[in-house]
């Protein structure tokens, strides 16, 4: 456990040159690097990058296997005609505007 007295809240790491601070900072740097690598790996594989996906990859958990119930439910999903209409209208706005716009 790190003492609150040596914690730098802005940096998100312990401050100082004591051995304990150095070890913790080295560990935090390793974790940040590993998380960054997980992020890059998801991008390179063309997968949806979310915090949960990065966390799962870092922890070695895969969410690539879905239960048959999930697959059945996903196949049965059909957006309403109102939803499709709104989506088409927003896509038209994006095309006509010539600039990237965010959905609201």
Tens-digit pLDDT profile for residues 40-76: 998 888 888 888 889 999 998 876 544 455 556 566 6
Domain count, the chain: 2
33: left (phi over 0), alpha (psi -120 to 50) or beta: alpha
Q: Are residues 15 and 60 in the same domain?
A: yes
Q: How far is CA 83 from CA 51, 88, 89, in A?
A: 27, 9, 10
Tell whether 94 and 56 lie within a shared domain. no
Q: Are residues 31 and 59 in the same domain?
A: yes
Residues 54, 58: Cα–Cα separation, whole Å? 6
Task: Say what the pLDDT of residue 31 is.
Answer: 92
| Domain of 42, in residue numbers | 4-65
Query: What pTM value is reported for the model?
Result: 0.54
56 and 85 part of one domain:
no
Could you tell me if residue 70 is inside a domain?
A: no
Centre a 10 Å sphere on the Cβ of residue 6 and count the other Cβ atoms it contains: 14
Answer whether residue 36 shows pLDDT above 90: yes
Q: Where does the pLDDT of residue 38 fall: very low under 50, low under 70, confident under 90, or very high at 90 and above?
A: very high
Question: What pLDDT sits at residue 87?
Answer: 76
């Amino acid at each position: 456990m790190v003492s609150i007295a040596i914690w730098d809240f802005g940096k998100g790491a312990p401050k100082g040159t004591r051995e304990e601070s150095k070890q913790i900072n080295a560990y935090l740097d390793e974790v940040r690097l590993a998380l960054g690598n997980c992020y890059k790996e998801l991008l390179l594989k063309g997968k949806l990058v979310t915090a949960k996906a990065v966390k799962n990859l870092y922890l070695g958990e895969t969410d690539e296997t879905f239960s048959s119930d999930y697959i059945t439910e996903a196949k049965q999903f059909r957006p309403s005609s109102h939803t499709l209409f709104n989506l088409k209208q927003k896509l038209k706005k994006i095309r006509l505007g010539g600039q990237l716009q965010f959905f609201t």
